[in-house]
Each structure stands twice: as C-alpha cells, then as structure tokens.
Amino acid sequence: MASLEDSDDEEVAPQSVANYFFVDDDESPISFSVLPLHFDDGLKQEVADNAVFLHGTTDGGLQKVYKQVIGWKLVFEDVEPKIMVLSKDKKWISLVKPRNS
C-alpha cells in the first residue's frame, strides 16, 4: 500500500485561483496578455521579455497564491470559455474571478 507523505520541498500547485491579479518583477500591475499565448496543437507565441507573477487565493480564500507564470490559453470545454495560465513549473491554473479594482 502506498503511503501519502507530505514533503516540505514539494509545493502543491493550485488548480484554480480567485481574486487574482498580475504583477511584474517590480510589483507593478500588468496584464497577462503580455505572456505568450499557447494553442492546443502545441504552438505558442514568443517568450515574454519580463517576469509575470500571479497573485490570488485558492481553497475558498484560505490560501494565498504567488506564482510566476509563463503563458496563457483560452479553453472552450464548457459553456463559458475559461482562461488558464501556465506556471513556471509547467502546471495549468484556471483563473476563476479577477480581483475587484
């Protein structure tokens, strides 16, 4: 039987983030549209020139999220389109609700 052990070295990537916003490496607000757009066929735009970070919450607001992101895509699986960003560790994160300005 496999055991489930927690590792302090391994961070669990959130599947979705609410109350999100993006900043650059100077903590200035920035749009995720500066990131490369990824397509389902594996094609993507050129790499972004500067670092972009996702701020937000997950688990109903219980956990804060701060992740560097390197790309984005638009998914049309459900009735409503879904925007997802790609974290630096190659995990897709769904954007649920933007932060109120």
Which residue segment(s) compose the domain that 22 sits in? 16-98
Chain centroid to Cα 99, Å, comes to: 14
- Name the domain count of the chain: 1
**Is 4 inside a domain boundary?**
no
| Structural tokens at position 17 | 């983030």
67 lies in some domain: yes
In a domain, 3, yes or no: no
Q: Could you tell me the two tokens for 14?
A: 């959130």
Name the more confident of 46 and 34: 34
Q: Cα–Cα distances in Å, from 22 out to 14, 58, 72, 74, 88?
A: 16, 15, 12, 17, 14
**Residue 2 falls inside a structural domain:** no
Alpha carbon 63 to chain centroid, angstroms = 14
Looking at the domain assignment, is residue 11 inside a domain? no
The more confident residue out of 3 and 92 is: 92
Answer whether residue 94 shows pLDDT above 50: yes
On average, the pLDDT of the chain sits at: 84
Contact 33, 59 (CB under 8 A): no
